[in-house]
Amino acid sequence: YLIRKRNKWLKSAARVVTVSPWHKQQLEPTLGAERTLCLYNGFDSALFIPKPIATEQFHIVYTGRIMSLGMRDPSLLFEALSAPELQEPVKNGQVVDWYTDEHSKALLATMLRNYPERVRNAQKMHQTVPFRQVPEILNRASVILLLGNKEQPQGPHGIVSTKLFEALAMEKPILYVRSDEAVAASLLQRAGTGLAAVNSAEVIHFLRTKFACWQKNSYNCTAKAKETFVRSFRRDAVAEQYRLLLEGVMEQKDTKQRNG
């Protein structure tokens, strides 16, 4: 019943806006390409401002919840941290900072039982923080960690977390594990500022490189994204696209009324 009602209203809409190109592709055969638009959630440029901050330790930082390991799977990170190639950053103390809720911490604790003690000791759990404090935490990160998983034929598709755009805004190396091998990975690749990993060997190489960068510069490692591409995800830029969309719809409506 709900799907029928939804389809009825979709067909009568002047325009339909999605937040993922996958959903746009699903709607186009029915609605037409000219009536469907993809406008990403983007990031608040007044909050997410990159500021280089010196840190005494190499930090991989995650902010957010883990609803299920099927959707967000950090196992490639734990496998990489278990490898001999990453003994140096791991032996220096707590490397991964988790700003997350109690449910997520319980999932992580269960997973970490399967990894060496040095990997368990490299994790530091924090309380979740108010949204406005997230930029400050990300500014102190050497690597921003994003979690995902490979899209499956019968699973969800087209998921693009707002956290991806917020991470892009901070001009930091981004480690996305495991890659969805879809929309999010494509956006990260186009930005040129991170890795959407499909195996632990990629994670090992990426983290070794970023750790060496941090050691050389004595402050958190930075990564310059493709500025024009990232700027298009600013909320004010997205709002401008909405303005143009609404003006176009109203103009089209006025034209139809005049032509009677």
In tens, the pLDDT along 240-251 reads 999 999 999 898
Percent of the chain with pLDDT over 90: 72
- Ramachandran region of residue 142, left (φ > 0), alpha (ψ -120 to 50) or beta? alpha
Half-sphere exposure in the Cβ direction for 193 (13 Å, CA): 27
pLDDT greater than 80 at residue 94: no
SS3 content of the chain, % helix, strand, coil (to 5): 50, 10, 40
Distance, in Å, from the CA atom of 42 to the CA atom of 31, rounded to the nearest integer, reads 25
In tens, the pLDDT along 159-210 reads 899 999 999 999 999 999 999 999 999 999 999 889 999 999 999 999 999 9
E strand or H helix at 28, and its extent?
helix 21-31
pLDDT greater than 90 at residue 52: no
